[in-house]
Structure 1
Amino acid sequence: MAQALPPLARGRVLGAAGALALLLAGTAGGYGYHRDELYFRMLPPAWGHLDQPPLTPLLARSLAAVVDEPWALRLPAVVAACLTVVVVALVARELGGGAAAQGIAAWGAGFGVFPLAFGHVLLTASLDMLLWPVVVLCVVRAVRRSPAWWFAAGAVAGLALANKLLVLALLASLGVAILLVGPRHVLRSPWPWAGVLAVLVVGSPSLLYQALEGWPQLRMGQALGETNADEVRVLVLPFLALLLGPLLVPVWGAGLVALLRRPAWRELRFLPVALGLLVVLTVVMGTQPYYPLGLLLVLHGVGSVPVAEWAARGRVRRGLAIAAVALDGVVAAVVALPLVPLERLGGTPVPEVNQLAADQVGWERYAEQVRDVAVDAGADVVIASNYGEAGALDRYGSGGVPVVSGHNALAALTAPPPAADVVVVVGGQYGWTQRFFERCEVRDRLDNGLGVDNEEQGVPVAVCHDPLEPWDTLWPRLAHLD
């Protein structure tokens, strides 16, 4: 039986959450929309999309219908980041951590590099950052306190399926880890299977959509793997040090060691094994290197307990612990948030180390360039190579010219008019689509005017005439997943 929990350190935990809320709210309007936000606000309400479960796009579109500005779309990300702070502090408390441990857990979790980045921009990862630690906390409580928590873990995981099917990788890692190192006796109870049932029931809309549509998320994952795998497989292990920041590696590292060495925590030894399995799955999938973040946040909460005990043994140690968390937070804020003035951003290394920052720059100017070319050419349609370009034109206007894209879900939601003869093609897809037209001419190249090198910078804006095939034949050939 687990011991009674120490009091919740409300001042330190809520202080960290409040400071994070102020910082994220104060910077939420910085730079501009991220490409994914421009995409999400376009997607209509649905049970699912070709590349996305429905939750994050539904939030973005609903908020954009009220206030179509970046800061409004980002409110769910801000809330998720602040709640994550509380959840990670509860992990430390669950393992006996007092006020000091809960403070380290809260401030480290809130002001790590990727928590700040995902709290600033509305991505599917923004909600996963909250939902995954909640699932793991429920599992920990199910093992240590009451088996009824298995049902709660399943219900939260089912909700997470509406955001991203990747939570199944977390569940698989936890389940296999328990089978490998225990405590296996928990699986003899009906409660874990009640948790599985909760996953299936709560997640049934997402699972049913996938089944009826032929599991498009598997095709999407395969496409991402083909594009990203070589880079991701090199970056996964270094990213473990970068997800929260290098100065916090000793904290979650202490959690890993303590889980393996402390007899009182023996029943939770599946957590380090689950992290290893999740890293292996991330390497195998080769899609994105940040997938272990949710589980790493839990291990940060665990590690806050031995680190607080270490820091309590002297004033110098306590100062070092505070300095490490504070310095990590300051560096993370500069890298992850729009603190560098926009006009100076291109002269700093921030866009190179933080792709999210680069992808928030230039959309209004890009849309203006495309609009000028389309209106001047008397275009019948604009074909955007990716959903960021399509989303920017949808948000900032295309001069009345229809905008379509074959990228991901937009391929099924948009299509050129059957009689379109004069076509503006924007972006990298132009290089191989020009052969489908009688003639093409590059009229401009996108330039954000800030020297920020992102995916759009320098790509062509071309005018093409007279497609060589009917659009109902040509359009499927322009569709692409990535």
Structure 2
Amino acid sequence: MSALKPFAAGPVAALAATVTALQIALSGRYGFHRDELYFLVAGRHPAWGYADQPPLTPLLGRASTALFGDGPTGLRVVPALLCGAAVVLVALLARELDAGRAGQLLAAGCAACSAFALAVGHLLNTAIFDLCAWLVVCLLVLRLLRTGDGRWWLAVGAATGVALLNKDLVLLLAAALVPAVLAVGPRAVLRGRWPAAGLAVAGAVALPDLWWQAAHGRPELTVAAGISGQDGSENRLLFVPMQVLYLSPVLVPIWLAGFRRLRLDADLARAKSFAVAYPALCVLVVAADGKPYYALPALLVLTAAGCEPVARRLVAAGPRRIRRAATALAIGAAVNVVITLPVLPARLTPAVGWIYREQGEQIGWPELADAAAEGRRTIPPDRRIRAVLLAADYGEAGALARYGPARGLPTPYSGHLAFADWGPPPDTLDGPVLLVHPVGFPDAERHFTDCHPIGHVDNGHAVPNGEQHAPVLLCPGPHRPWSTLRPHLRHYY
């Protein structure tokens, strides 16, 4: 077993702290993302699972707002800290792959400037927890492969179980990595009782959500199938270019060097399975019509592997070459910051929205609640008390729940995802229906007749997001009780 080189704790921690501070400093520049508005409501309905996901992200969101405040900054402290943790984890991966201080610091720098880490570290979302969980699993597997000590399977199992409490995507990593180890070794770590013990630990940690999903008919599979049906062709088409853009074009030579090193370096024969696992993972993601970023944590492992030989070459080439490399990283980081973080004025977000559309999804939610409130005022007061506020999707429903009370709006309802599980309106609310839905989704009106527009959403910045110009419709009351209508309102995508 080879000894690890000393960890560059000081400079790596300083870089991680800088990234975390940047994320927190910019966290309140726009507003909540649609997913965050959904998680805020889900956190107030604690459960072992939800229609579209396990419980971890909503519950950590609730904890974050309880500790740090219920604004965007309070919600985003936890992802900002996890973004810094991801920087440290990539440096630790480089160390596990025999990198010295220079290689570890380069690995931390690569993680810090990657578009993927910056983007998911800005928002409370499942991707930032997946990123850290996958990196921890990979780090522990590398430790297992290096030491040959089967007891590390217990830690791998525990980390995998926690990842399963966030998303099932870690199963893709396992489906790629275990066969890779079986194919290229060291196969000895797959023998004995420890792999089974690790699997048992993973199952025990994830059991609450596994039980919830089984008891409710595995709705996550329905949601995943819907996403695949909607975006599958686009995901396949963009998969390869997104592997480049989601990190940075600047980092391509480094992760290619890492891929080559893991395949050919005899001193890292123990880790060769990661060079096999990454392309296998890509095939699995594409076959499942998954999103391109699902493979990014494994690509960061290749990046970490490439940092040591690249750092050695830079040091050997002298200060001028080091300055040029540092400048290239800084330029890549600056470009990624502009694309993924809220540094531009809101009205300029369309300039980067064609690359990263989540920027625009943080703008216009209070204005949506304003439009709904204005529409509700058109309902006569004697009928208003029995009126229902209905939103077509989880983002709009979350926005109305967050911003509606200050505007005199009642509790919003929706049939989308977990909102459907939180109940339909009471049957006693048989008055008019105020319906808000995104542009281009007329199916939201199919359960009502004689709906007519009484307003529309204007985010005030001309940002062409999903809610800009969304209609606010007034419909007669339901033709049948809400309890009967409930299963027809439910939709997963």
TM-score by length of 2: 0.94
Give distance in 1, aligned partners of 2:436 and 2:419. 15
Q: Aligned runs of 1:287-298 on 2, under 5 Å?
A: 287-298=290-301
| Alignment correspondent of 1:161 | 164
Which residue of structure 2 lines up, in the alignment, with residue 18 of structure 1?
17
2:240 to 237, 241, 263: 237
Unaligned runs of 5+ in 2: none
Is residue 326 of structure 2 the alignment partner of residue 333 of structure 1?
no
Contact persistence 2:391–2:437 (CA under 8 A): yes
Aligned position for 2:430? 420
Q: Which amino acid aligns with 1:75?
A: V
Corresponding residue of 1:397:
404
CA contact (8 A) 1:6 1:96 kept: yes
What amino acid maps onto 1:322 in structure 2?
A
Per the TM alignment, residue 423 of structure 1 is displaced from its structure 2 partner at its CA by 0.5
Cα shift readout 1:184-228 (whole Å, capped 9, x = no counterpart): 222123322222122112222122222222222211211111111
Does residue 270 in structure 1 map to residue 269 in structure 2? Answer: no
- 1:444 alignment partner in structure 2: 455
Q: Could you tell me whether the CA contact under 8 Å between 1:30 and 1:338 is conserved in 2?
A: yes
Alignment partner of 1:365 is 2:405: no
Which secondary structure does the structure 2 equivalent of 1:353 belong to? coil
Q: Give the alignment's Cα RMSD to 1 decimal.
A: 1.6
Q: Which of 391, 397, 409 in structure 1 is aligned with 2:418?
A: 409
Other-structure match for 2:305 = 302
Cross-structure match for 1:55: 56
Paired amino acid for 1:427: H
1:381 and 2:388 matched: yes
Point out where structure 1 has 5 or more consecutive residues left out of the alignment.
none
The one-letter code of the counterpart of 1:110 is A
Report the alpha carbon displacement of residue 424 of structure 1 after superposing the two structures with TM: 1.1
Equivalent residues of 1:438, 1:468 under 8 A apart: no
- How many angstroms does 1:435 deviate by? 4.0
Aligned-pair CA distance for 1:375: 2.8
Give the Cα separation in 1 of the matches to 2:377 and 2:411: 11
1:353-401: CA deviations, max 9, x gaps?
1122111011011111111102322551111111111111111115233
1:38 shift after superposition: 0.3
Partner of 1:114: 116
Q: C-alpha displacement at 1:60, in angstroms?
A: 1.5
Give the superposition deviation at 1:236: 1.4
CA 1:65–1:15: 2 relative to 1, 3 Å: closer
Q: Which runs of 4+ in 1 moved over 4 A?
A: none
* Residue of structure 2 in register with 1:474 after alignment: 485
Residues 63-462 of structure 1 mapped to structure 2, 5 A cutoff:
63-65=64-66, 67-145=69-147, 146-315=149-318, 316-342=320-346, 344-346=347-349, 348-378=350-380, 379=384, 380-397=387-404, 399-418=408-427, 419-428=429-438, 431-462=442-473
**Residues 436 and 469 of structure 1 are in contact (CA less than 8 Å); yes or no, is this contact kept in structure 2?**
no
Contact kept in structure 2, 1:221 and 1:285, CA below 8 Å: no
Compute the displacement of 1:420 (Å).
Answer: 2.3
Q: Secondary structure at the match of 1:12?
A: helix
- 1:65 CA displacement: 4.4
Aligned pair in 2 of structure 1 residues 300, 436: CA closer, same or farther (>3 Å)? same
Aligned CA distance change for structure 1 residues 69 and 202 (closer, same or farther; 3 Å)? same
In the alignment, the residues of structure 1 paired with residue 292 and residue 212 of structure 2 have an alpha-carbon distance, to the nearest angstrom, of: 27
Contact kept? 1:310, 1:317, Cα under 8 Å: no
Instruction: Measure, in 1, the Cα distance between the counterparts of 2:140 and 2:122.
Output: 26
* Distance (Å, rounded) in 2 between the aligned partners of 1:412 and 1:471: 13
- Is the Cα contact below 8 Å between 2:426 and 2:483 reproduced in 1? no
Structure 1 range deviating more: 236-245 or 129-138: 236-245
Label 1:11 to 1:402 Cα distance change in 2 as closer, same or farther (>3 A): closer
The count of residues paired between Structure 1 and Structure 2 equals 479
The TM-score with structure 1 as length reference comes to: 0.96
User: Do the aligned partners of 2:401 and 2:411 also contact (CA within 8 Å) in 1?
Assistant: no
* Cα deviation, residue 430, structure 1: 5.8
* 2: CA distance, partners of 1:430 / 1:103: 49
Identity %: 41
Secondary structure at 2:433 match in 1? strand
3-state SS of paired residue (2:178): helix
Secondary structure in 2 matching 1:442: strand
Q: Which amino acid aligns with 2:399?
A: A
Moved more, 113-122 or 57-66: 57-66
